[in-house]
A and B are shown apart, each in its own frame.
Chain A
Amino acid sequence: MKSSKSSDAPEVVRRRTRQRDQVDQSILTALVDDGRRSNRELGRVVGVTEGTVRRRLRRAESSNSMRVVASRNLKAAGFQNMAAIGVCVRGRDASAVADELARLPQVLSVSLTLGANDIELQVIGRNLLEITELLTKVLPNVRGVSRLDAGLALTVFKYQPQWAAFDE
């Protein structure tokens, strides 16, 4: 299969991301199975040349549509606990509070939400003591944080984020 010409305009890239063609999709699927396999092996699996794989991956990377990244296993690093915390904000712009919370290393994710709470957090701790510290000392000390609605994860069955907002 032929690969398309390089240096697509951004709008085209954007449309491409939505209407990813079959080759791109197959490469992506092969990468999900094993992100470290070589371009040659990817080509063999997908049924295209090594050069096509290289070009497609370069295009995907330069259009910033996807990244192949390594991440550390929380459990292997000694983090035993995770909690989902809803935050109710009073007297301060919720997005300013969210930005401040995002700077905490124990905070895995931060979203501004519509619903009962203004912000949703996923936090991690090495043990319950660290989660307690977060809930009783760290988070309440952030200006604007009013109430916390915490749920402690008993078992994490799946944690496979497929999407993330990339820093430019």
Chain B
Amino acid sequence: MSEAIRLDELDRAIVARLSGDARIGNRELARELNTTESTIRVRLKRLFELKAIQVSVIRNSGQLNNPLLAYLFIEAETATHVNRVAQSLCELREIGFVATLLGRSDLLAMTLVEDGAKLAQFLHETVNTIPGVYAVQYSWAQHFVKHDYTWCFIRD
């Protein structure tokens, strides 16, 4: 189990500012937070090295025509297939979330597609053909109420 990484007040202020816009330069960040550019540089270097934060590009799902978020509850053929199926799912660019589960199903994967036809195609042609996939149960969402992208999950 990894120990929690402690962030002090300045670290938190840096992360809070970058969670709104990570493109802000170190100089501007230093000015806003009333510190020096080199302090910002050192702090950021530490935060990235410790994998305490990550910078990512998030696109606006509100500008997709008819976005569908699919929850794929997947059963593997046998217990030995579970991790391999997880790896295969991870390699698919379309899939944003993969986890093995205790309860509900062997695995949960999530994908967002632009319309129902694309979803059906993706499921039938890609997911169902992954070796070791026994059955997939779908649940889908057309309305996303919340997605807190201030959090991420970086593998050790």
Contact = CB atoms under 8 A, between A and B. Distances in A.
Whether A associates with B in a native complex is: yes
A5 to B, nearest CB: 20
Contacts of A31: 57
Contacts, number: 254
Contacts of A75: 2, 153-154, 156
Given A115-B139, A151-B105, A154-B102, A163 B23 contact: no
A46 interface: no
Contacts of A32: 56-57
Contact of A72 (B15, B64, B141): B15
A157 B87 contact: yes
B154 A73 contact: yes
Given A153-B100, A163-B58, A84 B139 contact: no
Interface residues of A, number: 68
Contact of A73 (B53, B71, B101): B53
Given A66-B60, A162-B96, A166-B60, A71 B144 contact: no
A161 B156 contact: no
B150 interface: yes
B151 A113 contact: no
Contact of A111 (B1, B18, B69, B102): B69
Contact of A164 (B22, B61, B86, B97): B61
Given A75-B156, A150-B104, A153-B101, A108 B147 contact: yes
Contacts of A114: 139-142
A132 B64 CA distance: 37
Interface in B41-66: 44, 50-65
- Size class of the B contact interface (CB-based, 8 Å): 35 or more
B50 A156 contact: no
A69 B22 contact: yes
Interface string B133-156: 000001111111111111111111
A88 interface: no
A149 interface: yes
Contacts of B95: 158
Given A35-B57, A71-B19, A151-B108, A113 B71 contact: yes
Given A69-B22, A150-B104, A166 B62 contact: yes
Given A113-B141, A160-B152, 17 more contacts: A36-B22, A38-B25, A57-B23, A66-B57, A67-B57, A68-B56, A69-B20, A70-B18, A75-B153, A98-B143, A112-B145, A149-B104, A154-B101, A155-B99, A158-B90, A158-B96, A161-B149
13 contacts: A69-B18, A76-B53, A108-B147, A113-B141, A114-B140, A114-B141, A155-B100, A157-B87, A159-B97, A161-B96, A163-B61, A164-B59, A165-B144
